[in-house]
Structure formats: C-alpha cells, structure tokens
Amino acid sequence: MESLHQPLGGAEFAPTKTYLNTSVCGLMPRRTVEAVTLLAGQTADGRPDGAGDFDVVEEARAAYARLAHVPHERVALGSSVGVHTGMIAQSMPPGAEILFPEGDFSSLITPFTVRGDLKVRFAPLERLAESVRPETALVGFSAVQSSDGRTADLAAVRAAAAAHGARTLLDATQSAGWLPLYAGDWDFTVAGAYKYLLCPRGASFLTVTEEAQRELLAIHANWVTGEERYANSYGPVREPARSARRFDEPPAFLSYHGAAASLALLEEVGIETIEAHNKGLAARFRAGLVSLGHTPVADDSTVVGIPGLGDRADALGAAGVLISSRAGNLRVSFHLYNTAADVDRALDVLAG
C-alpha cells in the first residue's frame, strides 16, 4: 500500500527516532506545541483573563464530541481516566456487581475495588459478553487491551448488557484517535487523551448518556460546573450545569489549549483514514514477525503484542526503536506519523 510509505499529518511531526510507542504516549503535533508554548508565555507575562481561555476549552470539548459522534452536551472534561472512573464508581449503589475483563487497565478497575462494598467480578475478555448476568449492574472494559492490543467484541458486549439491563463503561484510551468511537452506544466512555488523541497529558474526556447523567454523582463539583459559570465563584453553586459539564474538573488550561489543536488535526486527517493507515502498518509488522518465527497476538489492531519478547524492549531502544514491554509482551503501537520504514526498521533490529 503506497500510503504506508508516507506519514499522515505532514510537517506536524519530526521524531528523531523510530517511535512505535503511542500506547504509552502520543507525539504532540507541532501546532500543539506552539499552542502550549504561546499560552505558557502569555501566562508568564500576565494574561488579563488568567491562565487560559474557556472558549478554547469549549473548542476542545466540541471537537472531541464530533470525534465521538455525540452532542457536546454529553462530554465532560477532566484530568485523567482515574478521576472519571472514580466518579462512576462512587455513584454505584452498595452491593452492585461490576464485571471487568481479566487483566484490564488498573485505572479502570481500581476505583471500584477500593470501595470495598461492591461485588467486582472478572472474566476472560473473549468471554466477557457471555459472563454478563441479570445481577450485573455495570460492565466496564477497554475497547483495546493495553497489555497486548486485543480488541473487544463491542457489539456482543453491548447486546449482552442491554439484554440484562446492565450499564456499560467503555475505556477508549487505547483506541480513540485511530478507531472510530460511537460514544452514544455506551452509558459512559472515558478516554485519556495523551495517547492516540495526541493531546498533552492532563486532558481526559468522559461521555455520559442523558439517562446515566441522572445517576452520576458530581463528587468534585466546583465553580466551573454551574450553569452560569461566573455566577458561582462564592458560596454554593446556584444551579448545576444542565449538561455533562456539571461533571467537569476545572480545566488544566495548558493541556486543553493543546488538546484543541491536536483534535483539530485529527479531524482534518480523518479517523477512518488513520485507522486504515495504522492497521496497514500493523499488518505489515505482523507478517514480518511471522517470517522471523515470532507469533504475535492475533488481532486486527494497531497495537501489536508479541508474547515472550518483552525482554527485547531495551535492546530495541538502544538501537533507536522506541517501544515498550507490558505483561511479558513486546508491545508495538503505530499511529499516523509512522511509515513502512518504521516497521521495517523494527523488524531489522529484531532480526539481529
């Protein structure tokens, strides 16, 4: 595929090494670096309106809503997945049964286990849908597993949850930005934006259906969560926002000024275009691994796990190929700034 030999995003990226580690952290586009640098300089000089611009924050919210195919009124902003899932966990009634895949990411699971009064249950990812039962209150899972890149059967889990009346929580941290996201299919979605969404760390997105908004406790309500923002600086918030904004954290302006720039780039390129590019690179890499005698995790994911090769990560890094080791797997992840040359370089180093 000829397009695999050219990066998407043009001159926005100029990595100095073979960077195949987006599942740890995405590269920030040039425009994002400029936006953050501009705001930092303005703040150092003394901005008349404080440390950032709420209008730019709202641009980021609206852009994410478009990427997630939901109205912006259903998007809440925060700093991390752990904060978002903590709010959901604290909203569950005592004794509620929560179902997760075995080995999913800890920030998704731990806010529920520390409650101590919830029934947390685990099932293999491939059996998650069949493990939903009538007493299950919530099914939480990642669209793409962090440890090895496996993708969940979204349709099956959604159907099983609906059949048993369970709420759903989808973690899109390892998928949003390369895999189309239809957040309206789920009661809650969370996405840490510093990976495939290319945002600075400190930007994270939560979506909540209108029905689920009535059940979610705004446990960190603050002055920005009122319907009229500047009417709530002193004393209790008079009226909570009538949208998911009532679940916002006060924005980290540097992160969200950068997020607005990064999300604009993703919209310009198009998620479907990025998906085809990334999957093409991953398929080329899997084929190369097989020719070298290695067996990658079988999946159509942009994140490739190779069991038993986790100890090769340091040697690859020393050769200028940046990847990671997770749960014993060598984990290689591709994004729009990668090309076939990056794939071939990684394979060459693995070949020794």
- 3-state DSSP call for residue 219? coil
Q: How confident is the model at residue 3 (pLDDT cuts 50, 70, 90)?
A: confident
Residue 50 has a pLDDT of 84
Give the model confidence (pLDDT) of 312-333 as tens digits: 999 999 999 999 999 999 999 9
Enumerate the CATH 3.90.1150.10 domain ranges in the chain, comma separated: 2-27+270-351
End-to-end Cα separation, the chain, in angstroms:
26
- Tell me the backbone φ, ψ of residue 338, rounded to 5 degrees: -90, 160
Torsional sign, CA 42, 48, 50, 52: negative
Mean pLDDT, rounded, of the chain: 96
The predicted model gives 160-166 an average pLDDT of 98
Q: Which amino acid is at 342?
A: D
Residue 104 has a pLDDT of 97
Task: Please classify residue 119 by burial: count the beta carbons closer than 10 Å to its beta carbon, then call 0-12 exposed, 13-18 middle and 19+ buried.
Answer: middle
Q: Which CATH class is domain 38-268?
A: alpha beta
> Looking at the chain, how many residues does it have?
352
pTM of the model: 0.96
Sorted by sequence, the CB contacts under 8 Å of residue 48 that are 6+ apart come out as none
Tell the residue number behind the tokens 């934006």, with chain if given.
193
Give the model confidence (pLDDT) of 258-267 as tens digits: 999 999 999 9
Enumerate the CATH 3.40.640.10 domain ranges in the chain, comma separated: 38-268
Phi-psi category of residue 29: left, alpha or beta, with phi > 0 → left and psi -120 to 50 → alpha = beta
Residue 2 has a pLDDT of 53
DSSP 8-state symbol, 52: -
The predicted model gives 293-311 an average pLDDT of 96
What CATH number was assigned to the domain covering residues 2-27+270-351? 3.90.1150.10
Q: How confident is the model at residue 352 (pLDDT cuts 50, 70, 90)?
A: confident
Residue 68: name the closest of 179, 211, 144, 214 by CA. 179
Tell the residue number behind the tokens 């890094």, with chain if given.
317
Q: How confident is the model at residue 99 (pLDDT cuts 50, 70, 90)?
A: very high
CA distance 245 to 336: 31
